[in-house]
């Protein structure tokens, strides 16, 4: 039987907390393969949360393969999988929490600016169209880990510029502006820190860095965010697990 009592944690996305409660109950066996989950309305009532938050939590568990939907019949607990074939789309906040670290952010700048050629191309908008630029220093256990500069089309969420952007941007886009984030494409390459970046990350100029460019899309395939991240090379690493369909002969 579903146990829905939980204490909300400040600074962590509500949908992520709800998903974690359900995930733990699946892994502990309280919810077994084939069990029918309560309806969205029942979950709203149990957790005292909005339907948007419930759907975001369920979508996360569907993407993990822990639950599945049957059209017109409801949502069920899935049979356990032996492996996760594809990585999930995680925000920086979710990634740090998975690593057991306390995420944080210091907002460096928020502006409404015209998109240059690069940003317009990544977001599939016209050059000169307005975007909201959000530059933040990302922290893990209060230590600077990276600098992220995100661009979101102004027309999609004009009020985003007035929000508290020290919290998870994904949480705001999903819960406040009802944008169903679905997929992202990441490009990684090596770089070095310039003087400004080095000062923010408390390292000497010229120190190695990972540069990550991400385009995040909603379910219709429309880009909703382009972000460029400069991550500390001494604290950040990429781990890839690769498989082949057939053994090499």
Both 57 and 108 in one domain: the answer is no
pLDDT at site 124: 93
Q: Give residue 241's pLDDT.
A: 63
Contact 228, 211 (CB under 8 A): yes
Mean pLDDT of 241-247: 57
The pLDDT value recorded for residue 198 is 93
State residue 129's pLDDT score: 96
State whether 137 and 97 are in the same domain.
yes
What is the spatial distance between Cα 214 and Cα 134, in angstroms, rounded to a whole number? 14
Of all residues in the chain, the percent with pLDDT exceeding 90 is 41
pTM over 0.85: no
Per residue in 32-81, pLDDT (tens digit) is: 888 999 999 999 988 888 999 999 889 888 877 788 888 888 999 987 65
Helix/strand/coil for 238: coil
What would the pLDDT profile of 152-208 be if each residue is shown by its tens digit? 999 999 999 999 999 889 889 988 998 888 888 888 888 999 999 999 999 889 988
* Shared domain check, 96 and 71: no
123 in a structural domain: yes
Please give the residue range of the domain that contains residue 30.
14-77
Instruction: Select from 230, 92, 231, 229 the least CA-distant residue to 150.
Output: 229
Within a domain: 87 = no
**Left, alpha or beta for 141 (phi > 0: left; psi -120 to 50: alpha)?**
left
Higher pLDDT, residue 227 or 1: 227
Residue 175 lies in a domain: yes
Q: What's the pLDDT at 134? A: 97
Helices and strands of the chain, counted as H and E runs: 7, 8
- Looking up residue 46, the CATH number of its domain turns out to be 1.10.10.10
Which H helix or E strand runs over 92?
Answer: helix 92-98
- The reply to whether 8 falls in a domain is no
């Amino acid at each position: 039987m579903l146990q829905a009592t939980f204490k909300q944690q400040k600074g962590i996305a509500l949908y992520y907390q709800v998903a974690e409660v359900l995930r733990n109950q699946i892994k502990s066996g309280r919810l077994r393969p084939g069990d029918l989950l309560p309806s969205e309305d029942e979950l709203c009532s149990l957790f005292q949360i909005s339907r948007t938050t419930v759907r975001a939590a369920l979508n996360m568990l569907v993407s993990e393969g822990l639950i599945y939907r049957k059209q017109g019949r409801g949502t069920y607990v899935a049979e356990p999988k032996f492996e996760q074939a594809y990585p999930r789309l995680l925000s920086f906040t979710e990634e740090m929490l998975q690593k057991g670290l306390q995420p944080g952010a210091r907002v460096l700048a928020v502006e409404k600016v015209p998109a240059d050629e690069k940003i317009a191309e990544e977001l599939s908008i016209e050059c000169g169209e307005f975007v909201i630029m959000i530059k933040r220093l990302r922290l893990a256990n209060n230590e600077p880990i990276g600098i992220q500069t995100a661009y979101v089309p102004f027309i999609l969420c004009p009020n985003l510029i007035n929000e508290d952007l020290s919290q998870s941007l994904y949480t705001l886009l999903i819960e406040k502006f009802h944008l169903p984030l679905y997929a992202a494409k990441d490009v990684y390459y090596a770089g070095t820190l310039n003087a400004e970046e080095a000062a923010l990350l408390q390292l000497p100029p010229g120190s190695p860095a990972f540069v990550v460019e991400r385009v995040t899309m909603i379910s219709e395939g429309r880009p909703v965010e382009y972000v460029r991240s400069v991550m500390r090379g001494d604290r950040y690493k990429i781990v890839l697990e690769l498989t082949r369909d057939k053994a090499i002969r």
